[in-house]
Amino acid sequence: MPTHEESEAFLSDVRRLTPAQRNRFLTALGRFIDDLLAMEAGERRWFRPGLRVKGVQGVPGLFEMRWAPDGRATFFLGAPRVSGLRHVKWERCGDHSIL
């Protein structure tokens, strides 16, 4: 199972999501975790296209995942803290303004 940490800004952002937004984010998060597990097992090389994971311009190493037409979550894929397991540091979550 991938390891993770969350910035204070991310936790605050998630608390501000509406119930409908939170549900969409959690659905996408489940798919994100499934893809990370598949990567750890050597079954995937990257995230499924539906998550629209891509790098954020101007911030090396920062990625965004789109969980709704105007829903984003940003994260870093960090060095493994446990051998063979991916590490994710969640930075922000919300609408396009978080970028």
> What is the predicted pLDDT for the residue at 98?
83
- For CA atoms 91, 17, 14, 90, the dihedral sign is negative
- Average pLDDT of the residues in 1-19: 95
> What is the predicted pLDDT for the residue at 20?
97
pLDDT at 3 over 90: yes
- Average pLDDT of the residues in 12-40: 97
State the Cα–Cα distance between residues 95 and 60, nearest whole angstrom: 21
- For the chain, which domains are there? 3-98 (3.30.2310.20)
Please name every residue paired with 89 in a beta bridge, in sequence order, or none if there are none. 5, 76
pLDDT digits (tens, 9 = 90+) for 32-88: 999 999 999 999 999 999 999 999 999 999 999 999 999 999 999 988 888 888 899
State the Cα–Cα distance between residues 65 and 53, nearest whole angstrom: 4
pTM of the model: 0.92
Residue at token pair 């296209």: 49
**Residue 22, C-beta contacts closer than 8 angstroms, at least 6 positions apart:** 14
| Tokens linked to 81 | 């803290």
1 compared with 58, residue with greater pLDDT: 58
